[in-house]
Structure 1
């Protein structure tokens, strides 16, 4: 008991040091800036941390997270080990694996945030795993997302619920579906969903290990065989692919497509509300599984304001910030907090009434498909571009 008290006192003292050192500074938060709802939520974060800590949070909008990775790597190569221009970065998957490999992230800080305990990590080990890779305290969880499909209920009465059904449906509705070209995140996510679905259960463990030439030669041919059959049925006969999920949504809005997908389920009702999508749009999850992951924030090893970034990350994990983020009218990103350990009045902040007709049903019962090991992404992208990139 005494050791527990001493440990608690030490943690409180250490956090007080973070509070003392972290206030009254700027934090440059490098995060994807392609969604107006997410950008608006980050603006709200800016107001909150300014009010609580007098921190000036600056959202550096990225087209791709790799831009921030390259910047930190360039700073390290130039010998800038303490005055980096990236204080906090929104990250997961291959970008996290790359930064961790090159020693570009601050270690052992995330689990020491006071609000990290609200994720109940002992019962939710995924909070410390990024695409199956242990985070080792280098990342703080921020939200959860899953690949969600949406369709025009005027054009489709019964959407395809499995990958096999999607192939059959595409032959009957030629030109009414497509996916973004890799390396777009949504496009790669669709390919990973397809790969998992096409891989026999007895071999799926290989997808969660670092990719090898032997395993890629064993598992990827099924994916290419599937795509060879699917592509002629796609929009523009698979001879041209859109570059982003935004462009995909635009085609749905113009009714050129009847079926599309997103990794941000709340994006769909928000787009309907903005009249970017028809009111007939409905969301659903595939019955053979939904590719799911947790996204995180990390602090580069050379951040100029490490303690300030920790204060921001801790606020991101607060009940208030997580509940607001989960509301469909805000962002709709699922919380990483374990509601079972929260007080009753805190849980009520996450409860919704009168969901939008285009929203994804919360009880869709789609199995969560874990992300493959991040090393598979580069191989999938390279081989896809070799096979289909010139089209």
Structure 2
């Protein structure tokens, strides 16, 4: 990717705190009146509404103005920070906070383009489930306090029970089902995040030993390790929606295809998304979700603060609020968003725990026990190479 090449040309510079994140009173005082430009994916109405609600809360309580800069590709925000660095704009950049993870975080961290560490000094960090959830590593890369979590995600497959009798337990079963039901399944076109996740999900399911994926992909091991993935896709592609000659551009484009009875099966990275869509009359009530027998990929969504933000304190206010029980329970509500929480709900004070206990997760949402094994994300280098290789082998013009 272009931003990786730019990063390689930069001289690393450590980002130092202007206000000590551990001095919360000083952070709150400095944040009052600041405007935070949060560069975040803007492809979901529910997510956009949630971010707008967050803005209302931090404005009322802390005097922080939150502006949502809607992205289609997180790399655009990374490139903006890199361009400012090259131009010597080190004090008041255009990007104050980024919804980020994976390769984008790894690249910015390696180039010392991040403010912090700050995350583990935020007051609400004490409520986070550090032991039970992947909140201190991001695609195997240690976060080291340079990003804070705000949502949990896990791959699920959405299926219409009016057309599919039972869940499928493996990618091989899904392949066999598509052969018997051509045209009724698809996935977003990589390098879309969910499309690339589908490639990784196939890979972790068809490999006997996935431990190699925790290490960077190399020229020496890449072809051998990914061979089973490409063999699988060679069989799958002719049986996809529109015979693999077109793909949905994003994950949000999948549900309308089910609603219009063009698809019976799709993939999602939010266990509660289908219930939320049913509640919003965007999916038929017959849709349910399943995971695979070996487990499915899961990770946390994070926010991070660029080194040259002029509103670091305001960004910390927003990051801390995102980890609050109020925000986390609202995000988990399937009628609103349906994201998984990063908090250790069982150990919350009774009043905060009640916010989660009152939630009806929805008819299509699997319980934590039913979600089964969470498979760790591969090292980010695999995602980059897989998406590029897929484009060469199967890519179509959008």
Normalised-by-shorter TM-score class: over 0.9
Q: How does 1:203-242 map to 2 (within 5 A)?
A: 204-242=210-248
Q: How does 1:21-100 map to 2 (within 5 A)?
A: 21-100=30-109
1:283 aligns with 2:279: no
Alpha-carbon distance between aligned partners in 2 of 1:67 and 1:235, rounded to the nearest angstrom: 30
Task: Name which of 338, 341, 355 aligns with 1:349.
Answer: 355
Which residue of the partner structure matches residue 15 of structure 2?
Answer: none
Q: How many residues align?
A: 378
Which residue of the partner structure matches residue 180 of structure 2?
Answer: 172
Alpha-carbon distance between aligned partners in 2 of 1:12 and 1:78, rounded to the nearest angstrom: 28
Which residue of the partner structure matches residue 336 of structure 1?
Answer: 342
Q: Secondary structure at the match of 2:23?
A: helix
Which residue of the partner structure matches residue 150 of structure 2?
Answer: 142
Superposed CA offset, 1:158-200 (max 9, x none): 2322111111111111111111110011111111011111111
1:158 aligns with 2:166: yes
Alpha-carbon distance between aligned partners in 1 of 2:133 and 2:368, rounded to the nearest angstrom: 22
- Does the 8 Å CA contact 2:156/2:289 hold for their aligned counterparts? yes
| Alpha-carbon offset, residue 143 of structure 1 | 1.0
Superposed CA offset, 1:184-237 (max 9, x none): 111111110111111112xx2210111111121220011000111111111122
- Does the 8 Å CA contact 1:146/1:292 hold for their aligned counterparts? yes
| Alpha-carbon offset, residue 282 of structure 1 | 1.4
Superposed CA offset, 1:290-344 (max 9, x none): 1100110100000011111111111111121111111111211111111232112
Which residue of the partner structure matches residue 6 of structure 1?
Answer: none
Evaluate the alpha carbon distance shift between residue 170 and residue 50 of structure 1 in structure 2; reply closer, same or farther with a 3 A threshold.
same
1:14 aligns with 2:20: no
241-250 or 65-74, larger mean C-alpha shift: 241-250
1:313 aligns with 2:319: yes
Task: Name which of 192, 215, 227 aligns with 1:184.
Answer: 192
| Alpha-carbon offset, residue 270 of structure 1 | 2.4
Which residue of the partner structure matches residue 7 of structure 1?
Answer: none
| Alpha-carbon offset, residue 266 of structure 1 | 2.5
Evaluate the alpha carbon distance shift between residue 272 and residue 237 of structure 1 in structure 2; reply closer, same or farther with a 3 A threshold.
same
Q: Which runs of 5+ in 1 are unaligned?
A: 1-10
Give me the TM-score of the superposition, normalised by structure 2: 0.91
Superposed CA offset, 1:10-38 (max 9, x none): x8972221122111211111110111111
Evaluate the alpha carbon distance shift between residue 82 and residue 199 of structure 1 in structure 2; reply closer, same or farther with a 3 A threshold.
same
- Name the Cα RMSD after superposition: 1.7
Evaluate the alpha carbon distance shift between residue 327 and residue 226 of structure 1 in structure 2; reply closer, same or farther with a 3 A threshold.
same
Q: Which runs of 5+ in 2 are unaligned?
A: 1-19
Q: Secondary structure at the match of 2:221?
A: helix
Give me the TM-score of the superposition, normalised by structure 1: 0.92
